[in-house]
Every structure is written in structure tokens, then in C-alpha cells.
Amino acid sequence: MKKNLQKVMSLLCVSALSLSMLAGCGGGNNGGTTTTETPAATEEASTEAPAAEEKTEDTAEETTEETTEETTEETTEETTEEAAEETTEEASADGESTPRNETLYEAGQQWGTINDWNPMSANSNNGLALSANDVARELVYETLFMFNPLDGELYPLLGTEYSWNDDNTELTVKLNADAKWSDGTAFTAEDVAYTYDTHVKYQSSQGSDFSTYVDAVEAVDDATVLIKAKVEGGKAINPLKVTSMLNTMYMMQKAYLQTVEERNGEDADKVKQDTMEDMAHTGPYAPYISNDQKAVLQRDDNYWGQADSMWGKLPVPKYIAHTIYKDNAAGQVALSQGEVDVCQQFITDVQNLWLEDQLPISTWLDEAPYGQCEAIPSMFFNVEREGLDQKEVRRAIAMAVDYEQIIASAMSGQSPTFDEYPRSIVGPTAGERKYVDFDAIADLQWENADVDGANKLLDDAGIVDGDGDGIREYNGKNLSFKAECPSGWSDWNASMEIVAAAGEKIGIDIQTYFPEASSFYDDMTTCNFDICMWSAPGAGVMNPYSKGMFYFSEEYAKLASNWSGNFGHYMNDDAEAILEAIPTETDEAKLKEYYTELSRILLEECPAVALMYRPQLFYAVNESVWTNFPAADDGRNIPPTDCTDGYGIAALYELELVE
């Protein structure tokens, strides 16, 4: 009996041991994901997040992919590289170093081994090459036009000019005759049409998004594309959205796409998951090295853009490299040591790098807010939750928050204040602010941290603390809410803490909740939260319209998985009517009236509240190796988009080595 018992016991112990090991590994994995998500602050405050964020799940795949990647890389190299260069290149690839004075190092864009190069992928973590938002990353793939957030204009790239027909239903785009694919074949209108059709056919996120507004993309001749908008009642549904296709959709080669379709049997999931490492692309850089240490792009010396119709020369750095850093801190150390040239990371007290440490580091502006602030990180209230369905409660929370504290401490002063740029539906750029009549909504603004006013508002609304526990009740229930944002996004975490502190002062219990990014996304996209934080889109051809949609769109609210805006499901018929009218309205005065009205509703009803302004991309450059980076006062009109995004890539052509 006793012996038997011991046997059973030992068996149990062994199984417990193996179980605990499994649990231990699971825990370790958890820890790992925390660190990959840490660089929160660096996440672009834009809607591209869904793509960039899925990286968590990719960790498992990475190991297997590495091996395949390396082999494919070598084969592609061999075909493209000249034989003479081959040996030296190979040697340097093995040593995994590229000459420092030919390499531009970036930080804050790539946070793990690159998992694919597929612009249709739903879970790509490829921050180095793929960022198909308004200010698209133009290094490997290119869009038809480049957006410049400084002046809001589109600059020609693969396309040379575009024009709407008279009744705004058809958009004609002329293509650059010099444009070529990396395999030397010409870039034609067929490619544009096929790219769009493929997106729609396989229902990529861009495909399903644009197919609501675009009827068809047709090749008129080799160099002319006709984009037909969907028409309702003689008017295009949303011409703004159609135009935005020019600067957000990466062009892919028809022949190559057909190969991809064929090898995946035209299966939608497989096509979207194809890694596309052997892709044909038009951009100036091609994949070179990619592993868990770093990702490097190499210049394509046959790049079509050296034609006089485009840049007239090649971009200066031969390589663009991105070391995979563990977290923000590691990236910051590398920047201050000159190992990183361009850093897309939030840096606390960034001015100390040059004022105190005397490093050759600078930002876009020399003074606070140091960057070009366009996006508006905002908190959304879930209006379906009891208590938060009352506009007094929402407004009271909004009034009590100490925004100046958020800006000064959570954002380390890297945002203009709401005194300088009063709240509204638009961002702090002049191009957007002209659309709102701020005098008309001046009486709706609230003072910073107006705790008394908030308390009075709640008292007047009859929402009081009846049972004396320090927390007000609504319908007999304590007002108690969770304010959430992804764990490790330090500036957002700190902002939520300051919101929670404000709640305490007005008798509303607000707890912060920082789950892993993936579970936060689940909560946010399915409206399963009390208060959550997300950023209104920054600059783009559709602004400030896209900001209006972000705050109010009922269409977004009805999506099953809503990444776009109006996460709190706030429905307002007036706002909806205005949002429907804006895209086809061309009269500036009328538009101003519309946006002012939207701002009025936003301030009165508080479905969401702006917490700060923030740059779309953080930008700090170290001039130890390279110089002539864009700066606000250089008069070159090149935006501070890390030399990679939209028209910001123009900076790559003007970089110089420090002597």
C-alpha cells in the first residue's frame, strides 16, 4: 500500500514538474511580450496600428522564418548583385555589418524579426518597409503620390499628376513613364489596376476599406489610370477617400502578384499570409539582411527614381539599418551614443540630450513641443455603460482632468497646451484650424483641472454621493470605471493615471487598467471598456474630415471589429448628417460651419476628450555620422517623418556625411 502510494506520488510529482515547466515557459513568454510591446510611446499615433501591433503573435513564427528568410535572401542577392561585388557583400553580410558611413541607422520602427513583406498582410510586423497610412513609408514599395504633412499637399512619385473630372466622379492619374520595377520591367497602369483588384479580390483591409468608395480602377493606356468613384445620386460618396488612395496604397507588380496567387492557389488567407520575400518593388531600397538582431535594406542602384523626371539621383545612404532593440531605453542609449541616426521614439526630457549632455542631437523644433504635433490622443467614454451614458458625468470627468500636468509630465512637455490650441475637432496645425470658428465655441471650453466646476455640474445634475462612501451614485450604483490603455505605453499609462487622480477629486472612482496590447485591442475594437485611449489620426489628405469620422462616425461604431474610431458607440444624428455632407462640400465657409458645429457637439457632449497633442512620428536625429536632416527652420519643406515616410523620404537624397 505504502509503496503504491509512493509510486503514485512520484508519478504525480513528475507530472507536476513538467506542468510547472510548461507554466514557467508560458510565464516567460508573457514577460517577453511585455518587452516587445513596451515601446509604446513610439507607436505611431495612427490607424496603422492594427498591422503593426499583431507582432505579438508572430514571435512563435519568427524562429522558423529566420531560416527560410536567410536562404531566400541569398538567392535573390545572387541574381541582383554583380559578381565582383558579390564576394565583398557576402563577407559583410556574414559579419552582419555594413560600413557605418554608408548606413543610416533608424530606431523605433521595427520591434521584432520581420515576418513578411506583404502589403496585403493583416498581421505584418514590418515597420521598416510597410506603413500604408496617409504618410506611407516609401523605402521598398511606393505609392502613386507622397503626402507632405507640412503643407498637406501630394507630391508626385509613381504618378505625375492627378485630376478630377467636372462632376467629381472620376479621378485620372498620369504615371511617370520612367518608373520601373526592381526587375527592370516598366511600371504601367495595368499594375495599378491589378494591385487594386487584388486588394479587393482577397479582401485585404485596404481592399475592403476602399471598395466602399471606389467602383473600379482601369488602365486607359500604359501611363494613364482612371479611378471611378462609387456614385450615389449623381455624386461620388466620398471623393476625399478616393483621393487618399493615391498616397496610401502601395503599388505591386501584376506579373508578381499573379505568381503569388498561383503558388497559393488563389486562396485568400494564403495570399494574404504570403511572405513575399522575393517581391518586385519600385522603391529605392531592397531587403538585405533580416534577423532577430537587425533588419537592413540595401539601395537598388538601378532605382528608376534617378531619372531626371523624379529625383535625378540615388538616395545617399547605401543601407538603411534598424537594430532590433529590446525597448525604448535601449534605443535611446543607442541614439545618444551615435549608433542610431534617426530615432522614432518618445524620449523623456529630450532637450537634456543637447542642453546638458552636449550631444549633437536635435529635434524638429529647438523648443517645446520639439515635434510637429498633428495627432490627438483622446479618451473615449463608452456611452453604453450606465453612468457614462450621462453627458454630465462625461463632461465632469473631462473638466476635472489636469491636462497641463498630462502635457508637462506624461508627455514631458512635447505637446502644445490647450490654452495655446483650444479643444476642437481639429488638430493644432494651421491648415486644419482654419476650418473651425473658435470664437463660436469659446464658451464651451473648460478651464484646466476645474474640479469645482465639475463637482457643481454633477451636484446640479443630481448625481451625488448618497451613501457617504466618497463615491457618487447614479441610479443607486457607484460611479466606478476602468480607464484602460495598453501596458508599457508609458506616456499613455501616465495620462490615464492623471485621469484617475482627477476622478478621485470629483467622487468618481476611476481605476487604471493596463492589459497586454492584444487584449486591449479586443476591448477597444468591440466596445468592451469603460474609458479607453486611442489617437485621432494625424495629418492626411482627408483631414480634418478623418478626425470628424474618428470622433463621431456611426458607421465605424457599427463595425464588428472597429479599429477606426467612435469606440464608445456615441450616436448623434446631427453629427452624422454633417459627416455625410462634408465629403462633397467644396465651399470653405460651409465647411467651416460644419466643423465648428462638430466641435460644438464634441465639447458639449464629450463622447471623447482630447488629452494632448502629439507628433505622428517622434523624430530625434544624431548628427555624428550624417547631417543635413530636415529641421523646422531649414526652409526645405521636408517633413520630419524620419526620412522614410511620405515626402519626408526626400531627406534621404540630401543627406551628407559629417566631415
Partner 1 sequence: MKNTIKQVFHSGKFLFGFVIFMFILLTVLIYPIFVTADPLQMIGQGNFFKPGTYVSVEESALEKTYTLQIPKQFSKLEMVLDVDTRASIQDFLIKQAGVAESEIDVTDAEGLVALWKANYDPNTKYKGLTTAKRKALRRLDGQITAAMKDSGVIIAEKDEEGTLQQSKVIKDTDYINIKDVTTKTFLLGTDNFGRDVLTELVAATKSSLKIGLLAGLIATAIGLLLGLIAGYMGGLADNIIIFITNLFTVIPSFVILILISYSVGDKARGIAMVGIIIGITSWPWTTRSVRSQVISLRNRDHVNLSKLSGHSMFRIIFTDILPYIASYVVMAMILQISSGILAEAQLSMIGLGPATTKTATLGLMMQWAMQYSAHLNGSWWAYFPVVILIALISFSLNLMNTGMDQVFNPQLRD
Site string for partner 1, 285-324 (x = CB under 8 A): ----------------------------------------
**In this complex, which beta carbon is closest to partner 1, that of residue 263 or of residue 326?**
326
**In this complex, which beta carbon is closest to partner 1, that of residue 30 or of residue 68?**
30
- Least separation in angstroms between CB 569 and partner 1: 23
Q: Does 339 bind partner 1 (CB under 8 A)?
A: no
**In this complex, which beta carbon is closest to partner 1, that of residue 13 or of residue 464?**
13
- Least separation in angstroms between CB 467 and partner 1: 19
- Least separation in angstroms between CB 355 and partner 1: 8
- Least separation in angstroms between CB 259 and partner 1: 45
Q: Does 30 bind partner 1 (CB under 8 A)?
A: yes
Distance CA 295, CA 551 (A): 37
In the list 240, 255, 314, 501, the residue contacting partner 1 (rule: CB under 8 A) is 501
- In our burial notation (b when 16+ CB lie closer than 10 A, e otherwise), range 535-544 reads bbbbbbbbbb
In the list 362, 372, 378, 543, the residue contacting partner 1 (rule: CB under 8 A) is 362
In the list 11, 13, 91, 571, the residue contacting partner 1 (rule: CB under 8 A) is 13
Q: Does 498 bind partner 1 (CB under 8 A)?
A: yes
- Least separation in angstroms between CB 40 and partner 1: 9
Quick one: which segment of 5-13, 73-81, 225-233, 646-654 binds partner 1 (CB under 8 A)? 5-13
DSSP label at residue 249: P
- Least separation in angstroms between CB 627 and partner 1: 4
Partnered with residue 172 across adjacent β-strands are 163, 226
- Least separation in angstroms between CB 372 and partner 1: 15
Measured in degrees and rounded to the nearest 5, phi and psi for residue 5 equal -60, -45
Q: Could you say which residues in the range 137-166 bind partner 1, by CB under 8 A? A: none
Q: Which of 45, 135, 137 is nearest to 427 (CA)?
A: 45
Q: How many CB atoms lie within 10 A of CB 328?
A: 22
Site string for partner 1, 395-414 (x = CB under 8 A): -------x-xx--xx--xx-
Grid coordinates representing 524 are 477597444
Distance CA 645, CA 642 (A): 7
Q: Is 170 exposed, middle or buried (0-12, 13-18, 19+ CB in 10 A)?
A: buried
- Least separation in angstroms between CB 287 and partner 1: 30
- Least separation in angstroms between CB 154 and partner 1: 27
Distance of CA 64 to the CA centre of its chain: 28
Partnered with residue 236 across adjacent β-strands are 231
Distance CA 282, CA 334 (A): 31
Q: How many CB atoms lie within 10 A of CB 439?
A: 8
- Least separation in angstroms between CB 633 and partner 1: 9
In the list 94, 262, 443, 659, the residue contacting partner 1 (rule: CB under 8 A) is 659
- Least separation in angstroms between CB 657 and partner 1: 11
- Least separation in angstroms between CB 137 and partner 1: 23
Q: Does 11 bind partner 1 (CB under 8 A)?
A: no
Q: How many CB atoms lie within 10 A of CB 555?
A: 16
Grid coordinates representing 300 are 537598388
Q: Does 522 bind partner 1 (CB under 8 A)?
A: no
Do 565 and 550 touch, CB atoms closer than 8 A? yes
Q: Does 12 bind partner 1 (CB under 8 A)?
A: yes
Amino acid found at 454: A
Q: Could you say which residues in the range 614-633 bind partner 1, by CB under 8 A? A: 621, 623, 627-629, 631
DSSP label at residue 102: G
- Least separation in angstroms between CB 39 and partner 1: 11
Amino acid found at 521: Y
Dihedral sign computed on CA atoms, order 152, 157, 162, 168: negative
Quick one: which segment of 237-245, 299-307, 507-515, 588-596 binds partner 1 (CB under 8 A)? 507-515
What is the H or E stretch that residue 577 is in? helix 573-581
Q: Where are the alpha helices (DSSP H) in 54-204?
A: 55-80, 83-95, 189-201
Grid coordinates representing 360 are 549633437
Grid coordinates representing 171 are 479621378
In the list 360, 416, 431, 453, the residue contacting partner 1 (rule: CB under 8 A) is 360
Q: Does 17 bind partner 1 (CB under 8 A)?
A: yes
> CA dist 106 to 303, 320, 505, 641, Å?
21, 7, 43, 12
- Least separation in angstroms between CB 464 and partner 1: 22
- Work out the end-to-end distance of the chain between its first and last CA atoms, rounded to an integer number of angstroms: 85
Only one residue has cell 447614479, namely 474
Grid coordinates representing 112 are 521584432
In the list 92, 97, 306, 490, the residue contacting partner 1 (rule: CB under 8 A) is 490
In the list 51, 52, 500, 542, the residue contacting partner 1 (rule: CB under 8 A) is 500
Q: Does 571 bind partner 1 (CB under 8 A)?
A: no
Q: Could you say which residues in the range 468-487 bind partner 1, by CB under 8 A? A: 482, 487
Distance CA 595, CA 612 (A): 20
Do 173 and 224 touch, CB atoms closer than 8 A? yes
Amino acid found at 83: A
Helix, strand or coil, per DSSP, at residue 17: helix
Quick one: which segment of 139-147, 297-305, 511-519, 561-569 binds partner 1 (CB under 8 A)? 511-519
| Total binding residues toward partner 1, as defined by CB under 8 A | 62
In the list 5, 84, 430, 560, the residue contacting partner 1 (rule: CB under 8 A) is 5
Residues forming the site for partner 1 (CB under 8 A): 5, 9, 12-13, 16-17, 19-20, 23-24, 27, 30-31, 34, 328-329, 332-333, 336, 347-349, 352, 354, 356, 358-362, 366, 402, 404-405, 408-409, 412-413, 482, 487-488, 490, 493-494, 497-498, 500-501, 504, 511-514, 621, 623, 627-629, 631, 634, 658-659
